[in-house]
Amino acid sequence: MLILNAFAKNVAIRLCETNIRCNAIAPGATETPAAEKWAEGTQPGGDTMLKYAEKYANISLPMTKPIDQAYACLYLASDMGRCVKGQVLQVCNGAFL
Predicted pLDDT of residue 67 = 96
Predicted pLDDT of residue 46 = 65
Mean pLDDT by 10 residues, the chain (97 residues): 86 93 91 81 72 76 92 96 94 86
How is the chain split into domains, by residue range?
A: 2-91
Predicted pLDDT of residue 58 = 80
Contact 10, 88 (CB under 8 A): no
- What class does CATH assign to 2-91? alpha beta
Instruction: DSSP for 50-72, please give it.
Output: HHHHHHHS-TTSPPBPHHHHHHH
Predicted pLDDT of residue 42 = 81
Predicted pLDDT of residue 96 = 82
Dist. CA 48–CA 50, nearest whole Å: 5
